[in-house]
Amino acid sequence: MPFEAILRKYDPVGPWEIEGGLSGWNNTTRFVRSNGLRRVLRIYETHRDAAKVAFEHRLLDALGQADLSFRVPSPIPCNDGSTIVRLEDGSGRLACLFDYIEGERPPESNAQAAEALGRATGELIGALGSLRPEGLPAYHPYYELATSYPLCTEANVSAFCRNPPGPLSGLRGELQAIEARIGGIRNGLNRFRSLPHQLIHGDINVSNALAADGRIVAMLDFEFCTRDLRAMEIAVALSGYLNEEEPLASADAFLSGAGEKVRLTPEEAEAIPELMLLRALDVFLHFLNRYFDEVDGPDVIRTQTESASNSLRTWDGLRESIRDAARRRLSD
């Protein structure tokens, strides 16, 4: 990885010290030090579209001026004034540098942490709802499954799930169950379109937040920010609790925190369990589309299939309890 070549775009002299970072499924992250300062280097691995990153950075600039109780990433300009660097290794990938924010990932299966994340999420919903950054977001709403994942046509998904390739043949039962859920959710997507829309982060979970002393000190990774259902912000975060040991306790704590900062309509609160299901299936389709595009291999699909199967089983048992909690915590 040409880290030094990227960093010379910011400081041609250096020296830069490069440390390991927590890279996610979609991007590569490294911590770097220079002249006593710590920074965060991010390399986008899923697209080569500078317009997407530019929109993200304009949004971050606007949020940085908002009166929030937590921080958001602050893009650092390089030598030519841009906050985006295109790698010179022939890959066309994009990179950017951010100020480092102190904090640690919130603990999982912890009601206090879930409540704090809910409170920060509600606050962020309020801030994003008032922003009108220049340009249009690049990503489609969650309910636009066909547009978001062009390789995941009904025919392609059906063929894959009913006759998975050799390394995944042992997951045929799980894949067919997921296919049935995808078919069901596709048929009911139109009912969501009339719910309130605004800009949302779109990927809130514990890996995209930092905590200190029991409170959220930063919300990270705004790459997928787009205009979508306001309630989807809540549903995305709640879906992350489906694979925890005590998902209902975490979900209720999150909703309690969110309800301190934002109120939803009764219709939005009612829809949250189904939007959680949409998020779980969307994640699976995201990685299946990458598999069809030869970005990811069978091991990734195996992991995502097992995760989706577990989420769906948990969702079946908790959806009405979560609906009741959403009504109680979020709706007047």
Written as one string, the DSSP assignment of 8-37 is: TTT-SS---EEEE----SSEEEEEEEETTE
- Report all structural domains of the chain as residue ranges with CATH numbers, in order of start: 3-99 (3.30.200.20), 111-330 (3.90.1200.10)
Whole-number pLDDT of residue 36: 83
- Residues 244-268 have a mean pLDDT of 97
In the numeric block, which tokens belong to residue 164? 């998975």
In order of 229, 242, 253, 326, the CA distances from 271 in angstroms are: 11, 17, 19, 9
- Integer Cα distance of 225 and 205 in angstroms: 14
pTM metric for this prediction: 0.93
In the numeric block, which tokens belong to residue 255? 């909703």
Whole-number pLDDT of residue 136: 83
- Residues 267-285 have a mean pLDDT of 97
In the numeric block, which tokens belong to residue 302? 């195996």
Query: Vertex 142, ends 45 and 196: CA angle to 5°?
Result: 135
Q: Hey, what amino acid is at 206?
A: V
pLDDT tens for residues 113-127? 999 999 999 999 999
Q: Is the pLDDT of residue 330 over 90?
A: yes
Residues 204, 122: contact at Cβ < 8 Å?
Answer: no
pLDDT, mean over the chain: 93
